[in-house]
Amino acid sequence: MSEKFDVIVIGSGPAGYVAAIRAAQLGLKTACVEKWRDETGKGVNGGTCLNVGCIPSKALLDSSYKYHEAKDELAIHGISTKGVDINVPSMIARKAQIVKQLTGGIAGLFKSNGVTSLFGTGKLLAGKKVEVTDFDGKVVVYEAENVILASGSFPINIPPAAVDNDVIVNSTGALEFSTIPKRLGVIGAGVIGLELGSVWNRLGSKVVVLEALDSFLAIMDQQIAKETQKILTKQGMDIRTSSRVTGSKVTGKEVTVTFLDKDGKEQHETFDKLIVCVGRRPYTENLLAGDSGVNLDERGFIFVNEFCATNAPGVWAIGDVVRGPMLAHKGSEEGVMVAERIAGQKTQMNYDIIPNVIYTHPEVASVGKTEEQIKASGEPYNIGTFPFSASGRAMAANETQGLVKIIAHAVTDRILGAHIVGPSAADLIQQVAIAMEFGSSAEDLGMMVFGHPTLSETIHEAALAVHGHAIHIANKKKR
């Protein structure tokens, strides 16, 4: 008889590996199944995020920005540079080393916490049994008291621009360019498209971003979105909204893309590389046996309740494969919640306060509701904004683009949302997220003492501006 576990997790991305570690910490006998293999064929943990997603893309973003800074931005500090060059293979190798270190780190964490690694493809059978097919084709069926599905997501392909992994690539292929494309096309102006476009734009590519929607970053607060588009355009990215791709033709080592512009006229652009970044789908292929008892919703996600329990007793699902934003940190916290609920705790998760970040430079970050959402709900609200151009710390760092925006309820003053485009936005937004978790008001933030000079003072000033009390800018009259 095969080994039996208290918990088996299928998938070791940020949702799965965190769930496995937390379950093991709580004394549950835990195994984690992972199908990912490195270039040598060896099984590795970390899923999309660590192998071809969050981590490698941030490595390239940081490397490319340091090159751009050394080449174009140090002169203002009195630093002269000559002959600055970028070695793309070395940059890619550094990225690969970071990935190797972090994925190896998960293996170490599994070992220290007593999590059993099972490399191969996992499939949920009826009765909470998990079939694991290893890399050699050997099949073993394990039994579990609880199964956590954390299979993640994969890039969406579109027929007009079929990925060939050479000239036309998805987000994975865009992390492996060996040379800098002179002309780079990006289909999709979402998080991934903007980040990858930024990398190669800084390195010298002429980047054209084609977005089918009429508005830029439609899910973001539109004041911040417009400011972001202005900044990225100034950096050299050619962002074209209302541009629906209808076809593409690869000729040799270049691709010609056909698209309809905002007036419905057919246009053509030729690129050396084309990145398709039009979103991701939940990964459920061969994950569920027909009699597993687990249902999918109308969009192909695994159906779960607010605690990530499926309709099959003892089966849970977390991360990109369930409803909600496809964010690594959202999946990780779901993993903790599920592990603790399996152990008998009453852990809950606040889905209203999940930060979202775009790692362009400057960064874009948000938490809570946008002004458009609040306006549509009919709630009365006040807004406070503060530009980084009025921050002494931002001036000292030559990082003055962007602003902080805080929205509070006009009656209760409770913070409803915060939106930032600017330096260290990813870190600054967390300050507001913590405040919101504890039900803070804009006045609460305004009464706190912030260190000086710091970028976080922009949060303080925006909170003061909600009531017209900002110190370092002229205040707008409140309605």
Q: Across residues 329-357, what is the average pLDDT? A: 98
Q: 258 and 247 in contact (C-beta within 8 Å)?
A: yes
Mean pLDDT for all residues in the chain: 97
Q: Which two tokens stand for residue 287?
A: 């994950």
What is the distance between the alpha carbons of residues 461 and 442, in angstroms, rounded to a whole number?
10
Q: Which CATH class is domain 356-465?
A: alpha beta
User: Residue 284, SS3?
Assistant: coil
Sign of the CA dihedral 322, 324, 326, 328? negative
Residue 476 confidence (pLDDT) = 80
* Edge-first strand listing for the sheet containing 415-422: 356-358, 363-368, 415-422, 403-409, 381-387
Q: pLDDT band for position 479 (50/70/90)?
A: low
User: What's the CATH fold of domain 159-278?
Assistant: FAD/NAD(P)-binding domain (3.50.50)
Q: Which two tokens stand for residue 439?
A: 């039900």
What is the reported pLDDT for 110? 98
Short-list 156, 424, 99, 97, CA closest to 279: 156
Structure confidence by residue, pLDDT tens digits, 371-419 = 999 999 999 999 999 999 999 999 999 999 999 999 999 999 999 999 9
pLDDT top residue among 476 and 473: 473
Instruction: Give pLDDT tens digits for 201-230.
Output: 999 999 999 999 999 999 999 999 999 999
* Cα atoms found within 13 Å of the Cα of residue 285, Cβ hemisphere only: 5
Question: How many angstroms separate the CA atoms of 446 and 115, rounded?
Answer: 45
Using alpha carbons, list the distances in angstroms from residue 342 to 20, 45, 83, 105, 111: 12, 23, 59, 25, 21
Q: Which of 361, 372, 375, 341 shows the shortest CA–CA distance to 426?
A: 361
CATH for 4-155+281-342 (3.50.50.60, 3.30.910.10, 3.40.50.11240, 3.10.310.30): 3.50.50.60
Structure tokens at 261: 């512009």
What pLDDT was estimated at residue 2? 76
422 exposure class (CB count in 10 Å sphere: 0-12, 13-18, 19+):
buried
Domain ranges of the chain: 4-155+281-342, 159-278, 356-465
Q: What percentage of the chain reaches a pLDDT higher than 90?
A: 98
Q: What is the pTM of this model?
A: 0.96
373: three-class secondary structure by DSSP: helix
Helices (H), 203-327: 222-234
Question: Contact at 8 Å (CB) between 292 and 315?
Answer: yes
Q: How many C-beta neighbours within 10 Å does residue 295 have?
A: 12
Do 19 and 29 form a contact (C-beta atoms < 8 A)? Answer: no
pLDDT at 478: 66
Amino acid found at 129? K
C-alpha closest to that of 287 among 149, 107, 456, 137 = 149
Tell me: the pLDDT tens digits for 131-179?
999 999 999 999 999 999 999 999 999 999 999 999 999 999 999 999 9
Alpha-carbon distance values, 163 to 10, 191, 276, 440 (Å) = 27, 19, 8, 47
Same fold, 4-155+281-342 and 159-278: yes
Cβ atoms of residues 30 and 115 within 8 Å: yes
191, 201 in Cβ contact below 8 A?
no
Whole-angstrom CA distances from 183 to 150, 192, 208, 349 are: 37, 18, 8, 44
Which residues are part of the catalytic machinery?
452
Distance CA 202, CA 453 (A): 29
C-alpha–C-alpha distance, residues 242 and 209, integer Å: 11
**DSSP-based three-state secondary structure for 296:** strand
Spatial contact of 33 and 19, defined as CB atoms under 8 Å apart = no
